[in-house]
């Protein structure tokens, strides 16, 4: 087989510090903001000249935390509750022969400071440190196919999950300059129900924790309700 060498053009700086809680597709959490910081070789504005004419971009990236674990012909899509197997090429699972993913995200702006180039993005679904292999503009006339069908993933995933915040969590949020954005971000993440499918099927109250940006978030799940109990800044 032919072999090809690919080198990152940049890396994502994301609020998702662990795989847990990352939405399963892009733009499901609009307040998920990130930066794509270019490698030094590509830190020239010429590389992105005209990119601000586009509202959205395709990012091609490497599943860097799972690529070394190999691939599987059959996977268990979360949309099917983790109970049914599908061929890996019929899914967007991470365990792929070449470990390559793609994500359509919103471009919020371009930043060029002191010789460093970055794209400001939102609606991302990428782990912090994800290597970006390429960027392509999203073209609505070509990339949007209203009549397309998508099998078991034909509709946007929706849950009936609700979110509330304890008095302590509200106080901790109010101490942040980005209070409103952070509260919306946490709520959007939890409404996606980031739990593994087998956990979501349990009826008993459960407690969880996750890292978002520089914060440890703790919450409990009781049925269809998430209750955030603590938001503590990591040291």
Q: Are residues 26 and 124 in the same domain?
A: yes
Q: Are residues 190 and 107 in the same domain?
A: no
Q: What's the domain range around 168?
A: 162-200+207-233
| 178 within some domain | yes
Q: Are residues 16 and 85 in the same domain?
A: yes
124-172 pLDDT, tens per residue?
999 999 999 999 999 999 999 889 888 887 777 777 899 999 999 999 9
Q: Are residues 120 and 223 in the same domain?
A: no
What pTM was estimated for this model as a whole?
0.88
Q: Are residues 45 and 123 in the same domain?
A: yes
Q: Are residues 38 and 80 in the same domain?
A: yes
Specify the residue for token string 């590509």.
42
pLDDT of residue 158: 73
CATH of the domain at 188: 3.30.2310.20
pLDDT band at 205 (very low <50, low <70, confident <90, very high): confident
76-103 pLDDT, tens per residue?
888 887 789 999 999 998 989 999 999 9
CATH of the domain at 53: 2.40.30.70
CA 84 – CA 20 distance, rounded (Å): 21
Q: Are residues 17 and 127 in the same domain?
A: yes
CA 80 – CA 76 distance, rounded (Å): 7
Q: Are residues 135 and 192 in the same domain?
A: no
| 123 within some domain | yes
Number of separate domains in the chain: 2
Q: Are residues 120 and 227 in the same domain?
A: no
The mean pLDDT of 46-73, rounded to a whole number, is 93
Please determine, for residue 24, whether its predicted confidence score (pLDDT) is greater than 70: yes
Give the tokens for residue 1: 């087989």
Mean pLDDT, the chain, rounded, equals: 91
Please determine, for residue 200, whether its predicted confidence score (pLDDT) is greater than 70: no
| 3 within some domain | no
Q: Are residues 119 and 41 in the same domain?
A: yes
| 168 within some domain | yes
């Amino acid at each position: 087989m032919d072999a090809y060498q690919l080198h990152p053009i940049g890396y994502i700086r994301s609020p998702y510090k662990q795989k847990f809680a990352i939405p399963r597709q892009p733009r499901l959490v609009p307040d998920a903001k990130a930066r794509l910081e270019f490698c030094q070789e590509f830190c020239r504005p010429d590389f992105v000249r005209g990119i601000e004419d586009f509202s959205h971009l395709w990012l091609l990236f490497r599943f860097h935390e799972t690529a070394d674990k190999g691939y599987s012909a059959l996977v268990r899509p979360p949309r099917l509750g983790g109970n049914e197997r599908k061929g890996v090429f019929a899914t967007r699972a991470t365990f792929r022969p070449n470990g390559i993913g793609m994500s359509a995200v919103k471009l919020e702006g371009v930043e060029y400071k002191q010789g460093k180039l970055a794209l400001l993005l939102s609606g991302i679904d990428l782990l912090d440190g994800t290597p970006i292999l390429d960027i392509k503009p999203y073209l609505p006339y070509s990339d949007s196919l209203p009549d397309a069908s998508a099998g078991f993933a034909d509709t946007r995933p929706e849950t009936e999950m609700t979110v509330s915040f304890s008095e302590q969590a509200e106080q901790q949020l109010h101490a942040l300059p980005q209070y409103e954005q952070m509260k919306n971000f946490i709520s959007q993440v939890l409404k996606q129900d980031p739990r593994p499918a087998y956990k979501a099927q349990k009826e008993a109250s459960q407690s969880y924790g996750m890292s978002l940006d520089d914060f440890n978030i703790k919450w409990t799940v009781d049925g269809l309700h998430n209750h955030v109990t603590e938001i503590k800044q990591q040291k």
